[in-house]
Every structure is written in C-alpha cells, then in structure tokens.
Structure 1
Amino acid sequence: MTENVLKISGLKIAYGGIQAVKGIDLEVNKGELVTLIGANGAGKTTTLKAITGTLPNCRVEGQIHYSGQQITDTKSFELVKKNLAMVPEGRGVFTRMTILENLLMGAYTRNDKDAINADIDKWFSVFPRLKERSSQLAGTLSGGEQQMLAMARALMNHPKLLLLDEPSMGLSPIMVEKIFEVVRTVSAQGVTILLVEQNARLALQAAHRAYVMDSGLITMSGNAMEMLDDPKVREAYLGEG
C-alpha cells in the first residue's frame, strides 16, 4: 500500500475577495517526485505556502495532511522540526552568513554533530563549487550558486518532504541543467519531492507524476512521461502546437 507523505483535500485560499486556490486535491507518496506545473498566477506558490504555514493573512479552507497528521494550522518552525523543508522562490539564503554557516542553519534542529559534519561533506561533494567557496558570504554568490546553497541547506534537515519552488527561475541554461541533475539525484536517493516549476518540459522529464494547475484549479493529473506526449500539455506548456 502506498504511503501518503502529503495529502491535500479541498484546499481553498482567498485573499480578500480574490480566490487564489479554488478547492484542489493533491497527494505525494513516499519516494515520489511529483511536479505541479502551470502558468504564472495559477496558485502554485500559494499552495506551497499553505503547506508550509507561510501564507500572509488570508482565508484557508480544506485539509492538509503531512505524514498522516493534519497540519493546516501548524506553525512553520514546527514543520521544520517534523522534517518538512522548502526551497522558496528566490532562494532565501542568509546573505550575510557564509556558505558553511548557511548549511549549519539548515541543521539547527539537529544535535548529532558528527552526522552534521558528514552531511556537509556529502553536499559539498554534490556541489563542489560551494566547497571551494565555503567561507564566502552567501550574498556574494551567483544566482545559480545561491540555488545550490538553498537546496543543500534544505537537505541538511533530512527532509521527509522537500518542496522546491521554481528552482530554475532566473538561471542560465547550463545552471538549470545542473540544478535538475541534482533534483534527479536527490529523488533517486529516496527523498520525497514536490516540485513547482515553470520549465514544464524539464519538470515532467524528472517527475514520476504531475498535476497541472490553472486559475486555482487542478485541471489535469497523471503520469509525467505520458503528459509530455499529451497534445493539450504540449500546446499550453511546452510551446508546441
């Protein structure tokens, strides 16, 4: 029997009179890489913020279950303790801290010092560019390097669920390929991932399953590779008529 790590039921989110999310159902099973694709303003980031308890003042209805527990009203810092990690849109690194200090912040709920050091070595081996610059301030890194750091920092938490919000945004094509290579590597290691991404082709190529979101609604879901061949998806999100 598949084990739900995340299950969203009937989620509605309204900012004042604007209904951003209109009653969606979504689930991510253990070990899956699931992607949520859609145009700008579809409600994808709002959905991630609802999961992580980082929404501004708004009305939220419906249920969000993480590892079998209802978390709709749980504070974000409590979710970090439950090994739910997010790499936000725009990366959100601590710019006045070094790379090494940023990684240690990712492990602030842990006290297993030897294992923390082993994890730092592990992610430095995945991101050798970060190792070379370990004492450099994060704010002086390029966008791609900051994205690598944000991902490594989140992975220091040993997440049961890793949320990635637009990891390729604003990056060069070479860096986008590198970031997706890491996403696939992390997924292959068994980390459960929910990926929000505008580069629909790369997202679908990396994912097991996919959801399409449009104007606050889930309009399609299914096997990611099959969606790559779906004429409606190709026309709307892959730029092919």
Structure 2
Amino acid sequence: MQQNVLKVSGLKIAYGGIQAVKGIDLEVNQGELVTLIGANGAGKTTTLKAITGTLPQCRVEGQIIYGGEPVQGMNSFKLVQRGLAMVPEGRGVFTRMSIHENLLMGAYLRDDKDGIAADVDKWFGIFPRLKERRDQLAGTLSGGEQQMLAMARALMCHPKLLLLDEPSMGLSPIMVEKIFEVVRTVSAQGVTILLVEQNAKLALQAAHRGYVMDSGLITMHGKGQDMLDDPKVRAAYLGEA
C-alpha cells in the first residue's frame, strides 16, 4: 500500500462572499505524479496556495494533511522545512542573481556543502541549458529556461512533495514539450509531484492519476490514461468530440 503524502478533505475557500473552492477531496501518494486540470478560474491555484500556506486573507475550512499531520494555517517557511516545495505560476526566479546563485538559494536550509555541490551537478545534468549559462543572470533567460531554473531550484531542497503551478504557461510548443519531458524525468527519479496544468493532454499523459476541477469542485478523477480516454474529458478539455 502506497504511503499517503498529501490528503485534502472537504476544503472550502471563500474570499468575502465568493466561494472559490467548494469542498474538495484529493490525495497524493508517495512517488506519484498527480495532476489537477481545469479551466481558468476553476480554483486550481487557490487550492495550491491553501496547501502551501500562501493564501491572502480569506476563510478556509476543511482539512489539509501533509506527511500525516494537519498543516492548515502553518507558515509557508515551516512547510518548506518539512519538505513541501512549490514552483509558482510565473516562475519567480531571482532575476538579478545568476543561475548558480538561484540554485544555491534553493538549498538555503541545507549545510552539507558537498551534497549541495553534487546536487547542483545533478540538476545541471538534467537541465543542460542551465549548465551552459550557469553564470548568466536569471532575468536574461527565456521563459522556458526560467521555468527549468525554478524547477531545479525547488528540487535543491530535496522536497518530499513538489507542487508545480502551470509550468507550461506562456511557453512555445517546443518548450512546452521540453518542460513536460523534464517533469516526467523528475517523476521517474521518485519525486512526488502535484501538477496544476491547463494543457490537459500532456498533463494526463504524464500523470499516474488526475483530477478535474470545475467552478470550485472536483468533478472527476481517475487514472491518467483512463481520463484521456474518457469522452467527457476529451470533449471538454482536449478539444475532441
């Protein structure tokens, strides 16, 4: 039986009188790549922010269990200390720092210099574009390169759970394919991932399991391949009749 890393139960999130998330359940087991798909405004990013403790002032109900313990209301930096890392929508790299310096920032909680150096080499091996530009300022990179850097930086803290929020947003089709290739590579190395993504086809192709979110509710879930074959998913999210 797979160990449960994240379990969300009955999660409701309201901003004033607006109910953004209306009582959802989802879970991620160790070693899984789970995707949450849906249209803009469905509540996907709000859900991730609730999990990571980065929501603005709002009302949150329900339960978020991470690593076997309730974490709702916990400060985001404490969650990072517990191995929960997020690559936010928009990437959020340190633009006036070099690629190498950005990676070291991802390891700021660590003090094993040899291990940090080994991990820098490891991720440079998986992200060769970054290795070629290691001393270049992050702000001068393309969108796709910044996305790779944001992912590599998050992985430097050895996350037990990696949350990815719209990693393909704003990228060219070729770069989108590359980003998903990297996501699959990272997953194959045993990193547990919760992926929020609008590109439903690529997300479900990569995922072990998927959830569909619509207007603040989970409307469907199942194995990635089963959902790819589902006529409702194909019609609503893959543009196929």
TM normalised by structure 2 equals 0.99
Counting only pairs closer than 5 Å after superposition, residues 9-24 of structure 1 correspond to structure 2 as 9-24=9-24
Deviation at 1:2, TM superposition (A): 2.0
- In structure 2, the partner of 1:5 is 5
C-alpha offsets along residues 156-215 of structure 1, whole Å, 9 cap, x if unaligned?
A: 010100000000001111111111011001111111000000000000000000000000
The offset of 1:132, in angstroms, is: 1.1
Distance 1:199 1:157 in 2: 27
Letter in 2 for 1:3: Q
Aligned-partner Cα distance in 1 for 2:231–2:184:
25
Could you tell me the percent identity over the aligned residues?
Answer: 84
Match of 2:89 in 1: 89
Q: Which runs of 5+ in 2 are unaligned?
A: none
Q: Provide the residue aligned with 1:208 in structure 2.
A: 208
Moved over 2 A (4+): none
- Secondary structure in 2 aligned to 1:220? strand
SS at match of 1:95: coil
Q: Deviations over 1:31-54 (max 9, x none)?
A: 000000000000000000000000
User: In 2, distance between residues paired with 1:211 and 1:39?
Assistant: 12
Deviations 1:96-153 (A, max 9, x none): 1111110000000011110000000001111111111111111111000000000000
**Using the alignment, how far apart are the partners of 2:108 and 2:79 within structure 1?**
13
Which runs of structure 2 are paired with 1:76-115 in the superposition (5 Å)? Answer: 76-115=76-115
Give the match for residue 124 of structure 1. Answer: 124
Aligned pair count? 241
Give ranges in structure 1 of 5+ residues lacking alignment: none
- SS of the counterpart of 2:34? strand
Per-residue CA distance 1:75-112 (angstroms, 9 max, x = gap): 00001111110000000001111111100000000111
- Equivalent positions of 1:63-82 (< 5 A) are 63-82=63-82
SS in 2 for 1:129: helix
1:173 alignment partner in structure 2: 173
**Backbone CA RMSD of aligned residues:** 0.5
Structure 2 letter corresponding to 1:39: A
For residue 239 of structure 1, give the secondary structure of its aligned residue in structure 2: coil
SS of equivalent residue, structure 1 residue 122: helix
SS at match of 1:196: strand
1:62-83 deviation digits (Å, cap 9, x = unpaired) = 0101010110011000011111
**Secondary structure in 1 aligned to 2:57?**
coil
Structure 2 counterpart SS, 1:24: strand
Secondary structure of 2:5's counterpart equals strand
SS across alignment from 2:9: strand
Q: Distance in 1 between matches of 2:100 and 2:8?
A: 35
